[in-house]
């Protein structure tokens, strides 16, 4: 499901001109559980979000790749595969909307499901390439902790800084030091 923030910032301007964009991108519109035609919607009347779910269907060209790993959080962040494997060769790899792209998601799936003897690596590969959704709950659950650091001290005592792609440092500085 496409987050409203992406719908508003990126999709609505396109949909106002061409509702066929969704079909071309292998997406569908849902009102509740009912599929509706993107051509039946007056996209021009929306600017702050839409009262529909826009969903990208599974498949090899899905933006999230062949597998995604959901975990509880308030930010709509998860780990996922990508069809854009070339991005892993880039120096700057901050191309997502906040999610975490995985270079080897099948290995992670195999690792997380290793204790379930009914799920084999072959079964995981089959599910990933089936072109349809399959939900699998990891048991026992695995805690997920995500750290975002723009400054840290390395093991050899050197202070390191990196670009703050999300702008958190500026917000923190305003909180700590005022405007």
The predicted-structure confidence for 102-115, as pLDDT tens digits, reads as follows 999 999 999 999 99
The confidence band for 132, taking pLDDT boundaries of 50, 70 and 90, is confident
Residues 174-177: contacts with CB within 8 Å, 24+ apart? Answer: none
pTM of this structure:
0.75
For residue 97, indicate whether it is catalytic.
Answer: no
pLDDT over 90, % of the chain: 61
Mean pLDDT of the chain: 90
**What does each C-alpha distance from 115 to 74, 107, 126, 140, 148 come to in angstroms?**
28, 14, 18, 9, 30
Question: Of the listed 74, 99, 155, 168, which one is catalytic?
Answer: 99
**pLDDT tens, position by position, 27-43:** 999 999 999 999 999 99
Determine if the peptide bond prior to 97 is cis (ω within 30°): no
Q: Using one digit for the tens of pLDDT, what is the confidence trace for 81-99?
A: 887 776 777 777 676 677 8
For the stretch 51-87, pLDDT in tens is 999 999 988 888 888 999 998 888 878 899 887 776 7
pLDDT at 104 (0 to 100): 93
| Residue 46 confidence (pLDDT) above 80 | yes
Which residue is it, tokens 């790749």? 65
Write the CB contacts of 142 (distance below 8 Å, at least 6 apart in sequence).
Answer: 112
List 80, 97, 155, 168, catalytic entry: 80
Distances in whole angstroms, Cα of residue 98 to Cα of each of 6, 77, 146: 11, 6, 12
Q: Is 74 part of the annotated catalytic residue set?
A: no
pLDDT-derived band at 143 (thresholds 50, 70, 90) equals very high
């Amino acid at each position: 499901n496409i987050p409203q923030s992406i719908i508003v910032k990126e999709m609505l301007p396109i949909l106002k001109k061409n509702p066929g964009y969704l079909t071309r991108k292998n997406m569908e519109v849902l009102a509740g559980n009912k599929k509706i035609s993107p051509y039946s919607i007056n996209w021009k009347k929306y600017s702050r979000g839409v009262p529909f779910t826009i969903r990208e269907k599974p498949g090899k060209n899905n933006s999230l790749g062949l597998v995604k790993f959901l975990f509880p959080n308030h930010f709509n962040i998860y780990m996922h595969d990508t069809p854009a494997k070339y991005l892993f060769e880039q120096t700057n790899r901050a191309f997502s909307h906040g999610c975490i792209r995985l270079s080897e998601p099948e290995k992670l799936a195999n690792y997380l499901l290793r204790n379930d003897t009914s799920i084999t690596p072959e079964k995981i590969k089959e599910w990933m390439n089936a072109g349809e959704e399959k939900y699998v709950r990891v048991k026992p659950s695995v805690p997920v902790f995500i750290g975002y650091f723009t400054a840290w001290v390395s093991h050899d005592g050197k202070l390191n800084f990196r670009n703050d792609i999300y702008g958190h440092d500026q917000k923190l500085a305003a909180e700590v030091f005022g405007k």
